[in-house]
Amino acid sequence: MISIKGLHKQFDQLEVLKGIDLEVGKGKVVVVIGPSGSGKTTMLRCLNVLEIPTKGIISIEGHSLDFSKNVPKKSIALFRRLTGMVFQNYNLFPHKTALENVMEGPVVVKGMDKSKAREKAAALLQKVGLGDKMDYYPSQLSGGQQQRVGIARALAMEPEVMLFDEPTSALDPELVGEVLRVMKDLAQEGMTMIVVTHEMRFAREAADEVIFMDGGVVVERNKPEEIFTNPKEERTRKFLNMIQ
């Protein structure tokens, strides 16, 4: 289980997160929606500590960090292994092949034997449908393919939860489907996922719960069919009207 308690994040004068409380059960898929600047990406980045929260407690499967105190760097690096992050711009390592991108974490961070890591990475690439592209460099792959390598790279660390930060926003429309398909498969396998996205169809089809954020707080959370057909809050309704 993942729990966030009283999460605040302040950038200089700007308070981006104004106290987020959230629990995500194991194996659940949560889609986070909301207007730009609502803090959804910041919340995701706080979850794997790419942003250091100003205060609040984050715990993942019994490991927890309390940001009201000073958190040592070592704990942060260890905590990050619990989460897998998929970035909007993929952020693949351009000097490494698809296979090497996926192997990198297990070999360097976990100290896994190279041949074992290669086997594992190959299996993961197979799983995301890139079995025939293992020796390609990122620059030789399409956006959709790169993002699938990004998913495989995150999965290689066997995280407790996968975080997706607008994984299809940078893609050409015809490439969105292949990435969403991989994400749906993952959801069906019981992976815990928190997905920031504008893909409402994905939210409808794959999410257990949809969270609407605005102004640095969680405004509303509910089952997808409920939130899309019968939003309780005015702000949610306005937002949904604007995008649909």
Partner 1 sequence: MYLNSIFADPERTARLMDIAKTSLQPMLEGAIMNTIPLTIISFIVGIILAVLTALARISQGKVLRGIAGVYVSAIRGTPLLVQLFIIFYGLPNVGITLDPFISAVIGFSLSVGAYASEIIRAAILSIPKGQWEAGYSIGMTYAQALKRIILPQAARVSVPPLSNSFISLVKDTSLASLVLVTEMFRRAQEIASRNYEFLLVYTEAALIYWVICFFLSVLQQYMEKRLDRYV
Which residues of the shown chain bind partner 1 in the complex (CB under 8 A)? 48, 50, 73-74, 77-78, 80-81, 83-85, 87, 89, 91-95, 104-105, 108-110, 137, 139-140, 153-154, 156-157
Cβ 47 to partner 1 shortest distance, Å: 11
In contact, 199 and 170? CB cutoff 8 Å: no
Nearer to partner 1, 11 or 93 (CB): 93
* Shortest reach from residue 109's CB to partner 1, in Å: 4
Smallest gap, in angstroms, from Cβ of residue 114 to partner 1? 14
**Max Cα–Cα distance, the chain, nearest Å:** 55
CA distances for 159 relative to 18, 76, 155, 239, angstroms? 27, 15, 6, 32
Tell me whether residue 140 or residue 188 sits nearer to partner 1 (CB atom): 140
Q: Are residues 193 and 162 in contact, defined by beta-carbon separation less than 8 angstroms?
A: yes
The candidate with the shortest Cα–Cα distance to 40, out of 28, 22, 66, is 22
| Contacts of 187 by beta carbon, 8 Å cutoff, 6+ apart | 29, 193, 206
Nearest approach, Cβ of residue 101 and partner 1 (Å): 9
How far out from the chain centre does Cα 17 lie?
17
Nearer to partner 1 among residue 163 and residue 210 (C-beta): 163
Comparing CB distances to partner 1, the nearer of 99 and 210 is 99
